[in-house]
Amino acid sequence: MTLLQIEASHHVATLTLNRPASMNPLGAAGDGDAFVEACDAINSDMAVRCVILTGAGRAFSAGGDVKAMKEKSGNFGGSAPEIADGYRNNIHKILRALYALRVPLIAAVNGPAIGLGCDLACLADMRIASQKAKFGVTFLKLGIIPGDGGTWILPRIIGEARAAELFYTGDVIDARTALEWGLISRVVEPEMLMIEANALAERVAAMPPHALRQAKNLMRQGRSTTYDAALEMAANAQALMHSTADHMEGVDALLEKRSPRFSGD
């Protein structure tokens, strides 16, 4: 079954993990390429201004395929160097593709997001969750470690101490706890999840596309640069934005007390 179902409407692209019968596991052959293809297409399409990532069925993603681990097949078979290359050439492609998205990404977490599935959600810029969502990074319970860069991702969102608690205990937390810990920004009733996600995405997509992408880039670069360097990048990006038609549209709309209509010019 194809991993990703892709839909686009009103400047919003929705990526749905589409293996509901097995709780949307990741790591089958071609999964990385599917994400690379989808994310590259989004990055090259200025009509797309926001992306929603969710899961089909009752789970967001249960993470790596435990049955494949048991069988020592696919990504989890072969010698140690072969397994390492499997991560680099498939699973890491999934994560790198999402991380490289130039437009804002919303994770609409509909159910369990475990292991790799949790780290996938954590790559989003915004996360909202159903009351049925659960989060866990349970790698150590399987005798393995986060092979997907999770030890880099999660502490940046919830802090070192809480990330350590999850990693070292393998505990799974519910949506309310995830909200208290800052892992997600809101919890909604299950039937409202995609309605809320789309409403948020549409508010994001109403922004000027070039400025939106620049803003995301500046936030991303700000994680690893100095304040002086951030100011210099901001000055250069701002100069470009001042020359756009969308900037003048925003100014005119404010002065005329109306909603702006951004065209991407």
Note the pLDDT tens digit of each residue in 214-246. Answer: 999 999 999 889 999 999 999 999 999 999 999
Note the pLDDT tens digit of each residue in 43-67. Answer: 999 999 999 999 999 999 999 888 8
pLDDT value, residue 76? 86
pLDDT value, residue 261? 93
Going by C-alpha positions, the residue among 75, 140, 77 that lies closest to residue 114 is: 140
According to DSSP, the β-strands at 4-9 and 25-26 are unpaired
**Over 80: is that where the pLDDT of 250 sits?**
yes
Please list the residues that pair with 63 across neighbouring strands: 25
The pair phi, psi for residue 36, each rounded to 5°, is -60, -45
- Least confident segment among 20-29, 180-189, 194-203: 20-29
pLDDT value, residue 120? 96
User: In the CATH hierarchy, which fold is given to the domain comprising 4-205?
Assistant: 2-enoyl-CoA Hydratase; Chain A, domain 1 (3.90.226)
The token duo for 185 is 């920004």
**pTM, two decimal places:** 0.94
pLDDT value, residue 37? 96
Domain map (residue ranges) of the chain: 4-205, 209-256
pLDDT value, residue 146? 93
pLDDT value, residue 192? 98
CA neighbours closer than 13 Å in the CB half-sphere of residue 131: 5
Note the pLDDT tens digit of each residue in 104-150. Answer: 999 999 999 999 999 999 999 999 999 999 999 999 999 999 999 99
pLDDT value, residue 111? 98
175, 130 contact by CB (below 8 A): yes
Mean pLDDT, the chain, integer: 95
CATH (residue range 209-256): 1.10.12
**Over 80: is that where the pLDDT of 1 sits?**
no
The pair phi, psi for residue 28, each rounded to 5°, is -70, 160
**Over 70: is that where the pLDDT of 71 sits?**
yes
- Which residues are within 8 A (CB) of 96 and not within 5 positions of it... i.e. 6 or more apart? 36
Q: Which of 92 and 76 is assigned the larger pLDDT? A: 92
The Cβ of residue 154 has, within 10 Å, a number of other Cβ atoms equal to 23
Going by C-alpha positions, the residue among 195, 261, 264 that lies closest to residue 49 is: 264
**Over 70: is that where the pLDDT of 98 sits?**
yes
Average pLDDT over residues 198-208: 97
Average pLDDT over residues 181-186: 98
pLDDT value, residue 2? 79
**Over 90: is that where the pLDDT of 162 sits?**
yes
The Cβ of residue 28 has, within 10 Å, a number of other Cβ atoms equal to 17
